Amino acid sequence: MVKAVIFDMDGVLIDSEPMWQQAELDVFGRLGVTLQPHQTKQTAGMTTRAVTEYWYQQSPWQGVSLADTEAAVISQVAQSIASRGEAKKGVLRLLQQLQQQQLPTALATNSSQYLMDTTLDTLAIRHYFAAHCCVEMVAQGKPAPDIYLLAASKLEVAPADCLVFEDSYTGISAAKAAGMTVVAIPAAEEWHHEKFGIADVKIRCLSEFDMRLWH
């Protein structure tokens, strides 16, 4: 019996992955790191700090700190979300359904507080969530389970009673490590990838999901 629901943010509530991809291509490109669009998928789901460190190890640059590089990526993504961010198909219907069923709901994202707030305010969905958890609130981001355990704690629900919606293998791994049930929403081009087999359920879109069958 599901007693609480926890959502990842990027790629689940909002189609921000193209925005992340463009920001990484632009920011790292200015620093002399030549990336192809498909290479950004290697770091999908990782924290922005981890992505920055990853590309610095691959192709070190000079003159700009890792912290400033990370901030530049976040700033560009935030501007993109604020100007054209939209909720993904099925998001509002499911959030309304959860509210009607009085199921406590939390957000658990590897993104920063700034991006979390920008997304919640742009989509006007903050009021649906009883808890908002971002990467600065935990010792380790996903794939460590910390952020999901924090969300369950804030909702005062046992991890085993939580249902999670995730789009990345990194996030799914984090939720499974926390002992939670996971619904995977892979990107279309990754639908058949075997790595998503660790999820309990796999759907193409939130509009396919009926919470009434789980509560």
Task: Report, as residue numbers or ranges, the catalytic residues.
Answer: 8, 10
The CB density around residue 115, as the number of other CB atoms within 10 Å, is: 23
Fill in the amino acid letter for 155: L
Burial of 7 (0-12, 13-18, 19+ CB in 10 A): buried
- The Cα 176–Cα 115 span in angstroms is 25
In Å, how far are 20, 39, 59, 189 from 35, measured between CA atoms?
13, 6, 10, 20
According to DSSP, the residues that pair with 6 across neighbouring strands are 106, 164
Q: Is there a contact between 154 and 3 (Cβ–Cβ < 8 Å)?
A: no
- The Cα 50–Cα 179 span in angstroms is 24
- The Cα 147–Cα 162 span in angstroms is 13
**Residues ≥6 apart with Cβ < 8 Å to 33:** 55, 58, 59, 61
